Amino acid sequence: MAWLAPADRGPPSVVTVGYGSGAMPEIVVVAAHPALEHSRVTRALMQAAARVGGATSGLAAGTRVAVRDLYALYPDYFIDIAAEQAALAEAGLVVWLQPIHWYSMPPLLKLWLDEVFTFGWAYGPGGTALRGKDLWLVASTGGPEASYHPAGYNRYFFDAYLPPYEQTARLAGMRWLPPLVLHGAHRTGDAEVAAHAQLFADRLQSWPHWPELADLEPDSACDVPADARPALAPD
């Protein structure tokens, strides 16, 4: 196990755990929480993911998990695009682990998406690097589940906020997996957080052998024409 992290963030920024050496991870957990030192849920899930690689029961030989803490890796917001693309290239499952911020992603995860999922790499002509992989959103909300209702203060069911995530997966030719969401994170008891973290670990450990995936059709990529992006004029 190798890790890098500022002392005040607690969990490691990069954890590569599992079997063998030198192989790329089969599962990459991209974690984004701008105040991880104040988080119980995201911190617990990151630690659970790290523990999965230390388990031997149920894991196929060669299985590896990498947890990438974006706010520890890139406190200056200067993302190493080549390193991030390399981390994703051989993975079969990409996990976005995040709290919901204003019905969307934390800002560094959005910047990561903007810079890493590039035209010609993740989508568009020649952009097949992510095609056939699985994308799984694992999120927490501050508001309780009842607030995500036409009668609640968030006005819409939580699913109404997911189309941008799902369409991102589709554009890149990835299979969108049913999200794992914990609502009301601020008021969730320690026992429930621990149970949720164990569920997350169990799901990582058993992927891709989830019963519901047997009936989930692979997503076909959206074809983006070459002229969707105008050619840049020479300097």
- Whether residue 176 contacts residue 215, with contact meaning beta carbons closer than 8 Å, is answered with no
| 73: phi then psi, degrees, rounded to nearest 5 | -70, -40
Neighbours of 60 (CB within 10 A): 9
CATH of 7-228, one of 1.20.140.10, 3.40.50.360, 3.40.140.10, 3.40.50.150: 3.40.50.360
Residue in this structure with the two tokens 């058993």, named with its chain if needed = 206
Write the pLDDT tens digit of every residue in 10-63. 544 444 433 233 455 699 999 999 998 889 999 999 999 988 865 433 444 445
Q: Which of 201, 17, 219 is nearest to 95 (CA)?
A: 201
Both structure tokens of 200: 């997350």
Q: Which residues contact 186 (CB under 8 A, 6 or more apart)?
A: 142
Residue in this structure with the two tokens 């840049």, named with its chain if needed = 232
Neighbours of 184 (CB within 10 A): 15
- Domain residue extents for the chain: 7-228
Which pLDDT band, with edges at 50, 70 and 90, does 225 fall under?
Answer: confident
In this prediction the pTM is: 0.85
User: What integer is the mean pLDDT of 151-172?
Assistant: 95
Q: Amino acid identity of 166? A: E
Confidence check: pLDDT of 229 > 90: no
Q: Which of 137, 135, 130, 114 is nearest to 221 (CA)?
A: 130
- How would you classify the pairing of strands 134-140 and 27-31? unpaired
Higher pLDDT, 13 or 186: 186
Window from 57-61, 88-92, 174-178, 215-219 with minimum mean pLDDT: 57-61
Higher pLDDT, 143 or 235: 143
d(CA 180, CA 203): 10
Confidence check: pLDDT of 223 > 60: yes
| 224: phi then psi, degrees, rounded to nearest 5 | -110, 120
